[in-house]
C-alpha cells in the first residue's frame, strides 16, 4: 500500500513539473515573438471584415548619395532642418517647412505665403554665416554656380550639402522628384505629379470650350521695361507646354541664343505683338503712364478687345513649380472661362 501511494505521488510530481516547464516555454516564446515584432516595428491595419493584418514599417536610415557635381553626400535619416533657397515650392509641395526661406531686397515668394508662414528669411546668395545661424541638418542647392569659389566647402562644413545641378533644376518635375528621393518622400511627389497632370487635363478641356485655339501673351512690366516670357519656363511653360495654348508671334521671334526666362521687348517691337489675350504682371502700377497708357499699347488688338488681364506682380506667374503651376492654371480659368 505504501509503495502504491509513493508511485502515485511521483506521477503527480512529474505531471506538475511538466506543466511548469511547458508554461515557461510558452512564456519564453511569447517574449521572443514580442521582441521580434518590436524589432520589425510591425503595425496592425484594419481590413474590410474588421480583422487585422500586420505591415512592416521600415525605419528611416542614413544614406549616401551622389549629387550632380560628383559629391558623395551623407543624407541624415530624417532631416528636419532643411535649407533649400529658391527651392521652397518643392519643399512645401512635399509637406516640408524649411528653417529659412529665400528673399531678395524687395521681397520673398509671396505666392508661397501660406506654406511658409512665419518662416524667417535668408538672403538669396546664402551667406555662409547666415546659413550656419540656422543650424541646418541638410542644405539643398539648385545650381552649380551657387557653390563656386569655395562656397561648397563652406556649406558642407555646416551640414551635408546636395547640389541638384542646372539640368535637373531647369525641369521642375525632375527637381521635385529628386528632392523627394533625397528626403524619403517619393510617394508624396508621385501623388503631386498625378494631381498636376489631372489639373492640366481638366483645365485644357475648359479652355478648349471657352477660347478654342486663340493665342495669349504673358508680359511683365517693371522699370518701364516690358518682358516677354519664354515658352519653356515659368508661366510660359504652363500656358504653352502644359495647356497647349497658342503663343504669340513674338515668342517665336526671340533669338534662340538670347532666350531667357523673361526677355526684354522694346515698345517698337511690342507694337507688332499679335495676341488675342494678354496676361500682364505690372510692377510699375501707378507709374506706368509711358507704357500702358501709350498709343502703342492702346493700339494692340487684345487691348482694343478688352482682353487684358492684370495680375499681381507678386503672383506665381514669375515662378516655377507644382504650386506655382496650379495657381497659374487657376488664374487662367478665372480670366478666360466665363
Q: Where are the alpha helices (DSSP H) in 226-271?
A: 234-236, 249-252, 267-270
Predicted confidence at residue 287, as pLDDT, reads: 83
63-184 to CATH, choices 3.40.50.300, 3.10.100.10, 3.40.50.1980, 3.40.50.800: 3.40.50.1980
Fold match, 63-184 / 202-336 = yes
Predicted confidence at residue 275, as pLDDT, reads: 96
**What is the pLDDT averaged over residues 220-225?**
94
Quick one: which of 156, 202, 159, 169 has its CA closest to 90? Answer: 169
Instruction: Assign domain 202-336 to its CATH architecture.
Output: 3-Layer(aba) Sandwich (3.40)
pLDDT digits (tens, 9 = 90+) for 285-308: 888 888 898 999 999 999 999 999
State the pLDDT confidence band at 12, using cuts at 50, 70 and 90.
very low
CB atoms within 10 A of CB 301: 13
Residue 52 has pLDDT above 60, yes or no: no
Extract the C-alpha cell encoding 325.
503651376
Domain coordinates in residue numbering, the chain:
2-56, 63-184, 202-336
Amino acid at each position: 500500500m505504501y509503495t502504491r501511494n509513493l508511485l502515485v505521488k511521483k506521477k503527480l510530481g512529474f505531471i506538475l513539473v511538466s506543466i511548469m516547464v511547458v508554461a515557461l516555454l510558452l512564456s519564453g516564446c511569447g517574449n521572443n515573438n514580442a521582441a521580434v515584432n518590436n524589432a520589425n516595428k510591425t503595425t496592425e491595419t484594419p481590413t474590410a471584415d474588421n480583422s487585422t493584418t500586420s505591415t512592416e514599417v521600415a525605419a528611416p536610415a542614413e544614406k549616401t548619395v551622389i549629387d550632380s557635381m560628383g559629391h558623395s553626400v551623407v543624407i541624415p535619416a530624417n532631416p528636419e532642418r532643411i535649407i533649400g533657397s529658391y527651392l521652397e515650392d518643392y519643399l512645401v509641395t512635399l509637406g516640408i517647412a524649411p528653417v529659412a526661406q529665400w528673399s531678395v531686397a524687395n521681397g520673398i515668394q509671396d505666392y508661397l505665403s501660406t506654406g511658409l508662414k512665419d518662416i524667417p528669411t535668408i538672403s538669396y546668395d546664402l551667406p555662409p554665416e547666415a546659413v550656419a545661424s540656422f543650424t541646418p541638418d541638410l542644405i539643398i542647392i539648385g545650381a552649380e554656380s551657387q557653390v563656386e569659389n569655395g562656397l561648397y566647402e563652406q556649406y558642407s562644413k555646416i551640414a551635408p550639402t546636395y547640389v541638384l545641378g542646372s539640368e535637373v533644376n531647369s525641369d521642375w518635375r525632375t527637381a521635385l522628384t529628386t528632392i523627394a528621393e533625397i528626403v524619403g518622400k517619393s510617394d508624396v511627389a508621385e501623388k503631386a505629379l498625378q494631381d498636376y497632370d489631372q489639373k492640366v487635363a481638366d483645365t485644357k478641356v475648359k479652355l478648349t470650350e471657352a477660347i478654342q485655339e486663340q493665342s495669349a501673351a504673358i508680359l511683365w512690366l517693371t522699370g518701364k521695361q516690358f518682358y516677354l516670357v519664354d515658352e519653356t519656363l515659368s508661366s510660359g511653360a504652363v500656358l504653352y507646354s502644359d495647356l497647349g495654348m497658342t503663343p504669340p508671334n513674338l515668342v517665336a521671334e526671340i533669338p534662340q541664343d538670347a532666350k531667357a526666362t523673361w526677355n526684354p521687348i522694346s515698345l517698337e517691337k511690342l507694337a507688332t505683338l499679335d495676341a488675342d489675350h494678354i496676361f500682364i504682371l505690372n510692377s510699375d502700377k501707378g507709374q506706368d503712364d509711358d507704357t500702358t497708357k501709350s498709343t502703342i499699347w492702346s493700339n494692340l488688338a487684345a487691348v482694343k478687345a478688352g482682353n487684358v488681364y492684370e495680375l499681381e506682380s507678386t503672383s506665381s506667374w514669375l515662378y516655377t513649380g507644382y504650386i506655382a503651376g496650379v495657381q497659374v492654371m487657376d488664374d487662367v480659368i478665372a480670366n478666360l472661362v466665363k
